[in-house]
Amino acid sequence: MADIQSIKNRFNIIGNSPALNHALDTAVQVAATDLTVLINGESGVGKEAFSQIIHALSTRKHNPFIAVNCGAIPEGTIDSELFGHEKGSFTGAVDSRKGYFEAVNGGTIFLDEIGELPLGTQARLLRVLESGEYIKVGSSKVQKTDVRVIAATNRELLEYAHKGKFREDLYYRLSTVPIRVPALRDRKEDISLLFRKFVVDFSERYKTTAVQLDNAAKELLTNYPFPGNIRELKNLAEQVSVLSQSTIITLDELRKFLPEKNFSRLPALASQQTQGSEFANEREILYKLFFDMKKDVTELKKMFLEILQNPALAGSAANYTKESLMQDFPILANQEFQQTNVGQPQIIPSYTPQNNQPIILNNDSIQHHDIVEESLNIMDKEKELIIKALKKHRGRRKDASNDLGISERTLYRKLKEYDIEE
């Protein structure tokens, strides 16, 4: 079996962290087999490099290797790209075409962003993995292929499967051998080595002197979270190599090249990561905001209900100051709140009935009231956000998808799923 250090030298892999060495060791062991491999890791950690290592050390190394980004292929053409199509099978199919599984027969196909595959394509892929059979688009003839599949994703596919967005049987078929590539923030001991390698490469390319970091700058670099992982570190090294006026980079100089919005993640986010992992992306943070708002609204409704049932409490409600409102209901603290005199009719602007008229609390008892709970269904909220984004960008899907933080193909699928008319 190949030595790990020789593998690093051959494929230009820098680092000595235990997590990286374990991932490489697993890749080397599985390379000689034909087992399907699922590579997990955040965007920018180098998952494709692991697929190339597995192919280069396998018995298929002299046969074709192709990398396919499943998230970059439109949903309507991905079946044709993977499995091919017959002439006239759809509009624009003027000729027959070989798919990747036919063109790479005997070799290895790397399916990046496998979590973006439509459910129908997932069923076709499962059949290829189980029996080596597939059918071209527009054909009824079953064809055979001998292709090793290596898949990669930056998503938790099992969680996706529980949500009905990924086939559970395909997940277990793909993850025969799972390999998890560590994020850069989880291998801090390698950050300085990688940065040094990158600046030396760029100094040779641009015919300049390689920059160096002082101790304070090294500490900042090591503790920076690098959400873009190795790709972001490489871009940073290139910027510093080209734009720096000095060969010795200080702490203040390095800060100029780092996005300020990510400094808040130093080091608080690292300590909170295990506690708040459910809020790992912006959409889930938004859902948390909805839940917090729901809690505040519920507390306000309880308070108003008590006042409606016992008018004598209206006097104590009048003493509710803006400061106490901000403390107890931070999400709703931006609502106008005015203190009124005891005994006067009190207008509460934060809660209005369906006729949009404010409720006036007198000493008269109110015998009947309805409390309407707003929907907290995540799908409803997601649909509402998509509709707002489309309205904001006047139906332009590309701009709306960028605003929502999803791919245009995913937005198209959501439009169909929620039956949203543009």
Mean pLDDT of 258-265: 66
pLDDT at residue 315 greater than cutoff 60: no
Q: Backbone dihedral region of 271: left (phi > 0), alpha (psi from -120 to 50 degrees) or beta?
A: alpha
Average pLDDT estimate for 256-269: 64
Q: Which of 137, 132, 121, 123 is nearest to 80 (CA)?
A: 137
CATH assignment of 4-182?
A: 3.40.50.300
CATH fold of 186-272, please?
Helicase, Ruva Protein; domain 3 (1.10.8)
- Coil/strand/helix, residue 234: helix
Can you tell me the distance from the alpha carbon of 89 to that of 79, in angstroms, rounded to the nearest whole number? 12
Least confident of 56-70, 170-184, 228-242, 325-339: 325-339
Closest CA to 181 of 17, 341, 343: 17
E-assigned strand segments in 136-286? 142-144, 148-153, 177-180, 212-213, 248-249
Lowest-confidence segment of 14-23, 244-253, 259-268 by average pLDDT: 259-268
Task: Grade residue 384 by pLDDT with cuts at 50, 70 and 90.
Answer: confident
> Which one has a higher pLDDT value, 347 or 114?
114
DSSP secondary structure letter of residue 346: E
- Residue 136 neighbours by CB distance under 10 Å: 22
End-to-end CA distance of the chain: 57
| Residue 14 pLDDT level (bands cut at 50, 70, 90) | very high
CA dist 145 → 68, 150, 170, 400 (Å): 17, 15, 18, 40
Higher-pLDDT residue of 314, 387:
387
What is the mean pLDDT of the segment spanning 216-232?
94
Q: What is the mean pLDDT of residues 392-418?
A: 84
Predicted confidence at residue 94, as pLDDT, reads 83
**H/E element, 112:** strand 108-112
Segment among 106-120, 207-221, 349-363 with least mean pLDDT: 349-363
* Neighbouring C-alpha atoms within 13 Å toward the C-beta of 295: 10
pLDDT of residue 272 exceeding 70: no
Both tokens assigned to 62: 């002299």
The length of the chain in residues reads 422
Please report the sign of the dihedral spanned by the C-alpha atoms of residue 69, residue 70, residue 76, residue 77. positive
What does CATH list as the number for 378-417?
Answer: 1.10.10
Name the DSSP class of 37. Answer: E
Contact 132, 106 (CB under 8 A): no
The string of pLDDT tens digits covering residues 181-206 is 999 999 999 999 999 999 999 999 99
Where exactly are the structural domains of the chain?
Answer: 4-182, 186-272, 283-349, 378-417
More confident residue, 110 or 306: 110
Calpha distance 219→400 (Å, rounded): 39
pTM of the model: 0.61
d(CA 317, CA 339): 9
Q: Which two tokens stand for residue 183?
A: 């994020």
Tokens of 102: 């036919």
CA-CA distance, 304 to 104, in Å (whole number)? 68
What 369-376 contacts at long range (C-beta under 8 Å, 24+ apart), as own/partner pairs, is 369/305, 369/308, 371/301, 371/305, 374/294, 374/297, 376/290, 376/291, 376/294
Positions of E strands within 268-377 = 346-348, 359-361
